[in-house]
Chain A
């Protein structure tokens, strides 16, 4: 399915990442945005609010982030592509009902423009310290998809991708942006609508009474039942069976959770997107994501100029973690280095997958500004010692 030309601002633009995210959402066919103002994400909501009346959709500023997350789930069940955005404390508040989205297997997109934390932290300054919250922030067991744009162009593209993945896997998907990318203004090329591929929702073709909300539980992703057409289905945040009915015992939990987890674990290769550079003869690999993958560039260039064989692995999808690829690469290099704007989060995933095959280094940064490339360079030098 191609994008609807009425939704796509085809052309060359000069946009910040947040505005580009909003355009990506509209291009993807998003017609409902529920949000609550929070720096540094608010421009996504503002642009959507400005643009959507004439595109044909609704922006609603809800009373809080709890409501925003719920409203997009409700609208999504109503048959409308829906999104929200937030940052910092708002992300914490959304976690409860992000979990509901997983449990009800509801498509939707949440853009988190990360700022420094914890608590109120640094409202106007960047961070990448919500990565583990993205992975584990709602209670219980599940798998997530999180995409990390490193430019306004990618904010546009990955927001579309997030919608596609959310429809394909029937789950809310995260775009884990950051304040730098969100507020960085660059050239954004918005292609023609016919060049934008969209994944549209798959509805059951069965008649009411012949199908259940999760009838493929354990086997695959069940086409959704449309509302208002007599299916009269039930869905619940409680542990449930293929019928969507609550079943409170260990056996049902086993089936339900394995199903939710497996629908990602069985498709990691399909979901994973990586940026690989100079890996063929690399002795050391610098891993990064989001704005940090821009910041590593001068350090890597300097080291390579000195003859150090530095390769780069950029995680466009941080979750699911590209475990297979990292294990494979760990066996070939002398060291791996993670550059992220936190005190060590995705680093531990890298270290886990390296599993003693290679030395692992972290270039941490508590946020507030990006790394000094000098510090990254020094860590590269230390790693190749």
Chain B
């Protein structure tokens, strides 16, 4: 007869109620910026005290694409680049719900680039959190539309020579009403930005500069995850309302972070309702989405 010793009481993770614990451990590498970014979202949701039943999260494909699978919310893991149009349809059907799109830079801006600019143009009431690690990580470290010039990737083995996108400038010029950029180091400020973005009516965009030590840092000999965090610490410049044409990120350059845009503008559904009212007068019943009771 063997005697069993009761396992020591394991302290529960305080965010457990927001995570699918039956899917943990996650697939992300140690020192990846996604963990802190997801924590920032979870903290933001907690601090906002919003009804979690009324929050849905959408992602596409890639490392960041897996976020939807770990958040304990109504969550949709769609195809590569398509989280935004999927979320757009969902939002229009259910404007009573908060819609959050979690997407990587390649997913959102390369294959999904067209959806990004048009979602911003329409000012759909959607929050987009873009984790920018300058590389396609899930597929093994290929060049991205954000890869800085001279950075080495698996498909830019001689150094990237394409001009990268300046994401805050792209978002703002496409029509986003809220644009911010932080790094995975700025957890508190990032959490605040996500809170503001979720609260904002309209298309809000938060770029998160995140370390990928397995691929980006390794291929470019930038050291460990900790070294990247030190780099962010020493090279981030907080500049709220910065001139967006000057916030490009060059290879190992200074990173301008902050809240860049926070303006008011009628949303897609506001505009639709106003336009139809203009045309049809009292015959038009303002559209409020599907019956919340399904």
Q: Are the C-beta atoms of A82 and B283 separated by less than 8 Å?
A: no
Residues of the B chain whose Cβ atoms lie less than 8 Å from the Cβ of A162 = none
Any B CB within 8 A of the CB of A79? yes
B-contact bits for A49-61, CB 8 A (1 contact / 0 none): 0000110111010
Q: Are the C-beta atoms of A71 and B85 separated by less than 8 Å?
A: yes
Any A CB within 8 A of the CB of B97? yes
Other than the given A71-B86, A78-B97, A99-B79, 11 more pairs (CB < 8 A) read: A74-B85, A74-B86, A78-B91, A78-B94, A79-B291, A104-B76, A228-B96, A233-B75, A235-B75, A236-B68, A245-B69
Q: Are the C-beta atoms of A58 and B69 separated by less than 8 Å?
A: no
Residues of the B chain whose Cβ atoms lie less than 8 Å from the Cβ of A67 = 82, 84-85, 88, 114-115, 118
Q: Are the C-beta atoms of A75 and B90 separated by less than 8 Å?
A: yes
Any B CB within 8 A of the CB of A63? yes
B289 closest partner in A (C-beta): A78
Q: Are the C-beta atoms of A80 and B77 separated by less than 8 Å?
A: no
Residues of the B chain whose Cβ atoms lie less than 8 Å from the Cβ of A237 = 77-79
Q: How far is the CB of B122 from chain A (nearest CB, A)?
A: 8
Q: Are the C-beta atoms of A58 and B114 separated by less than 8 Å?
A: no
Can you list 20 A-B pairs, Cβ within 8 angstroms, ordered by A?
A: A53-B276, A54-B280, A63-B115, A63-B117, A67-B82, A67-B114, A68-B85, A70-B85, A70-B88, A71-B85, A74-B91, A75-B90, A79-B93, A80-B290, A96-B82, A100-B82, A227-B56, A228-B54, A236-B68, A243-B22
Any B CB within 8 A of the CB of A9? no
| Bound-complex Cα distance A227 to B97 (A) | 9
B279 closest partner in A (C-beta): A53
B121 closest partner in A (C-beta): A63
Residues of the A chain whose Cβ atoms lie less than 8 Å from the Cβ of B280 = 53-54
Residues of the B chain whose Cβ atoms lie less than 8 Å from the Cβ of A62 = 85, 88, 118
Known: A75-B92, A232-B74. A245 touches B85 (CB 8 A): no
Interface residues of B in 59-109 (CB under 8 A from A): 68-69, 72-79, 81-82, 84-94, 96-97
Known: A96-B79, A227-B56, A228-B54. A233 touches B94 (CB 8 A): no
Any A CB within 8 A of the CB of B294? yes
A77 closest partner in B (C-beta): B90
Known: A54-B280, A203-B294, A228-B54. A82 touches B69 (CB 8 A): no
Q: Are the C-beta atoms of A235 and B76 separated by less than 8 Å?
A: yes
Residues of the B chain whose Cβ atoms lie less than 8 Å from the Cβ of A57 = 287
Q: Are the C-beta atoms of A32 and B20 separated by less than 8 Å?
A: no
Q: Are the C-beta atoms of B89 and A34 separated by less than 8 Å?
A: yes
Any A CB within 8 A of the CB of B221? no
A-contact bits for B267-278, CB 8 A (1 contact / 0 none): 000001000100
Residues of the A chain whose Cβ atoms lie less than 8 Å from the Cβ of B90 = 74-75, 77-78, 227
Known: A67-B118, A100-B78, A232-B72. A80 touches B93 (CB 8 A): yes
Q: How far is the CB of A375 from chain B (nearest CB, A)?
A: 43
Partner of B79, one of A31, A75, A97: A97
| Bound-complex Cα distance A74 to B40 (A) | 25
Q: Are the C-beta atoms of B285 and A60 separated by less than 8 Å?
A: no
Q: Are the C-beta atoms of A63 and B78 separated by less than 8 Å?
A: no
Residues of the B chain whose Cβ atoms lie less than 8 Å from the Cβ of A68 = 85
Any A CB within 8 A of the CB of B13? no
Residues of the A chain whose Cβ atoms lie less than 8 Å from the Cβ of B94 = 78-79, 227-228
Any A CB within 8 A of the CB of B49? no
| Bound-complex Cα distance A235 to B276 (A) | 35
A84 closest partner in B (C-beta): B89
Known: A71-B88, A235-B76. A78 touches B53 (CB 8 A): no
Residues of the A chain whose Cβ atoms lie less than 8 Å from the Cβ of B117 = 63
Known: A62-B118, A78-B290, A79-B94. A73 touches B52 (CB 8 A): no
Residues of the B chain whose Cβ atoms lie less than 8 Å from the Cβ of A70 = 78-79, 82, 85-86, 88-89
Residues of the A chain whose Cβ atoms lie less than 8 Å from the Cβ of B158 = none
Any A CB within 8 A of the CB of B30? no
B-contact bits for A97-135, CB 8 A (1 contact / 0 none): 101100010000000000000000000000000000000
Q: How far is the CB of A90 from chain B (nearest CB, A)?
A: 14
Q: Which secondary structure dominates chain A's binding surface?
A: mixed
Q: Are the C-beta atoms of B78 and A234 separated by less than 8 Å?
A: no
| Bound-complex Cα distance A31 to B290 (A) | 9
Any B CB within 8 A of the CB of A278? no
Residues of the B chain whose Cβ atoms lie less than 8 Å from the Cβ of A140 = none
Q: How far is the CB of A57 from chain B (nearest CB, A)?
A: 8
Known: A54-B283, A70-B82, A229-B294. A236 touches B77 (CB 8 A): yes
Partner of B93, one of A32, A56, A203: A32
| Bound-complex Cα distance A289 to B102 (A) | 44
Q: Which of B54, B78, B81, B114 has the most CB of A within 10 A?
A: B78
Any A CB within 8 A of the CB of B12? no
A-contact bits for B1-33, CB 8 A (1 contact / 0 none): 000000000000000000010110000000000
Q: Which of B88, B283, B284, B289 has the most CB of A within 10 A?
A: B88
B115 closest partner in A (C-beta): A67
Any A CB within 8 A of the CB of B292? yes
Q: Are the C-beta atoms of B285 and A56 separated by less than 8 Å?
A: yes
Q: How far is the CB of A267 from chain B (nearest CB, A)?
A: 25
Any B CB within 8 A of the CB of A137? no
Residues of the B chain whose Cβ atoms lie less than 8 Å from the Cβ of A32 = 89, 92-93
Q: How far is the CB of A192 from chain B (nearest CB, A)?
A: 23
Interface residues of A in 256-283 (CB under 8 A from B): none
Q: How far is the CB of A229 from chain B (nearest CB, A)?
A: 6
Q: How far is the CB of B259 from chain A (nearest CB, A)?
A: 28
Q: Are the C-beta atoms of B73 and A232 separated by less than 8 Å?
A: yes
Q: How far is the CB of A56 from chain B (nearest CB, A)?
A: 6
| Bound-complex Cα distance A74 to B87 (A) | 6
| Bound-complex Cα distance A56 to B77 (A) | 29
